[in-house]
Amino acid sequence: MYGLHNLEARMNLREAPFLPDNLKTVRHSLYDTRMVLSWMGWMEFPDQLLSHLAHDGYDGIFASVYANPNGDRTTAESSTEFYARLMYRVRQQDPEKIHDLIARAERFGIKVYTPIIYQYLGTPESEAGLRKLVRDIVTEFPGISGYVLLTEGFWYKEWTAGHIDDDELMKDWARNWCKAVSMVKEECHRIDPSIEILPWEYNIDFRSQKAELKRYFIKQLPDRTIPMLTWENGKSFELDGMKGYLRDYSLSQIGPAEVTEAQIGEAGKRGMRVFSKVDTFASWQFGTIPYLPCPQQWFKRYAALEKYAVKGTLESWSSGYKPNFISELRAWTCWSDAPSTEKLFDKMAARMFGEKGKAKAVKAWEYFSQAIQLVPDTGPNMGTNNAVGNPLFFRVPPLRTNTYNYSWTDFDKWMGYFGSELNPYWPFTVSRMVFFPDFTGKINRAEEYARNATGIEAGNETKLLPVFLRYMNEAADKMEAGLSLYREAALSSPESKRQSAVKEVIVAEQLHRMMKSDCAILEFEDLRLKHSGEKDAGRRSEILDQMEVIVREEIVRTELSLLAATRDSRLGFQFEQDYVYSPYSLKEKLGVLIKTLDYQLPNARKNS
User: CB–CB of 319/282 below 8 Å?
Assistant: yes
> Is residue 98 over pLDDT 80?
yes
Domain spanning 29-338: CATH superfamily: Glycosidases (3.20.20.80)
- Side chain identity at residue 490, one-letter code: A
pLDDT value, residue 333: 97
pLDDT value, residue 3: 92
Average pLDDT in the 72-78 region? 96
Q: CA–CA distance from 376 to each of 76, 270, 379, 385, 432 (Å)?
A: 37, 36, 9, 14, 18
Q: What is the dihedral of CA 350, 354, 360, 364, to 10 degrees?
A: -60
The dihedrals phi and psi of 395, each to the nearest 5 degrees, come to: -125, 160
Average pLDDT in the 343-364 region? 98
Q: What is the pLDDT of residues 561-591, one digit of tens each?
A: 999 999 999 999 999 989 999 999 999 999 9
Q: Whole-angstrom Cα distance, residue 377 to residue 387?
A: 12
Helix ranges (DSSP H) in 270-374 = 295-307, 325-332, 341-353, 358-374
Long-range CB contact pairs, 439-445, < 8 A, 24+: 439/396, 441/529, 441/532, 441/533, 444/525, 444/526, 444/529, 445/525
Q: What is the pLDDT of residues 213-262, one digit of tens each?
A: 999 999 999 999 999 999 999 999 999 999 999 999 999 999 999 999 99
Among residues of the chain, what percentage have pLDDT more than 70? 100
Residue 486: strand, helix, or coil: helix
Average pLDDT in the 22-42 region? 94
Q: Is the pTM of this model over 0.75?
A: yes
Q: Whole-angstrom Cα distance, residue 598 to residue 379?
A: 34
pLDDT value, residue 564: 98
User: CB–CB of 507/293 below 8 Å?
Assistant: yes
pLDDT value, residue 165: 85
Q: What is the pLDDT of residues 503-542, one digit of tens each?
A: 999 999 999 999 999 999 999 999 999 999 999 999 999 9
Instruction: Give 418's pLDDT tier (boundaries 50, 70, 90).
Output: confident
The total of other beta-carbon atoms located within 10 Å of residue 4's CB is 9
In eight-state DSSP terms, residue 533 is H
> Is residue 22 over pLDDT 90?
no
Which regions of the chain carry the CATH code 3.20.20.80? Answer: 29-338
pLDDT value, residue 162: 66
Average pLDDT in the 295-318 region? 97
> Is residue 500 over pLDDT 80?
yes
Q: CA–CA distance from 396 to each of 128, 518, 540, 591 (Å)?
A: 54, 20, 19, 14
Q: Whole-angstrom Cα distance, residue 452 to residue 156?
A: 28
User: CB–CB of 350/359 below 8 Å?
Assistant: no
- Residue 168's contacts (CB-CB under 8 Å, 6 or more residues apart) are none
Q: What is the pLDDT of residues 451-496, one digit of tens each?
A: 999 999 888 899 999 999 999 999 999 999 999 999 999 999 999 9
pLDDT value, residue 607: 86
Q: Whole-angstrom Cα distance, residue 481 to residue 508?
A: 12
Q: CA–CA distance from 573 to each of 56, 111, 178, 498, 585 (Å)?
A: 22, 26, 36, 25, 13
pLDDT value, residue 184: 98
Instruction: Give 23's pLDDT tier (boundaries 50, 70, 90).
Output: confident
CA atoms within 13 A on the CB side of 442: 1
pLDDT value, residue 161: 63
> Is residue 412 over pLDDT 70?
yes
Q: pLDDT averaged over the chain?
A: 96
> Is residue 99 over pLDDT 80?
yes
Pairing of strands 144-150, 111-115: parallel
> Is residue 266 over pLDDT 90?
yes
Q: Whole-angstrom Cα distance, residue 271 to residue 202?
A: 21
Q: CA–CA distance from 551 to each of 140, 544, 558 (Å)?
A: 58, 10, 10
Q: What is the pLDDT of residues 202-215, one digit of tens each?
A: 989 999 999 999 99
Q: Whole-angstrom Cα distance, residue 290 to residue 64?
A: 22
Task: Name residue 148's beta-bridge partners.
Answer: 115, 198
The total of other beta-carbon atoms located within 10 Å of residue 607's CB is 7
Closest listed residue to residue 521, CA positions, set 601, 434, 457? 434
Helix ranges (DSSP H) in 162-231 = 167-191, 211-220
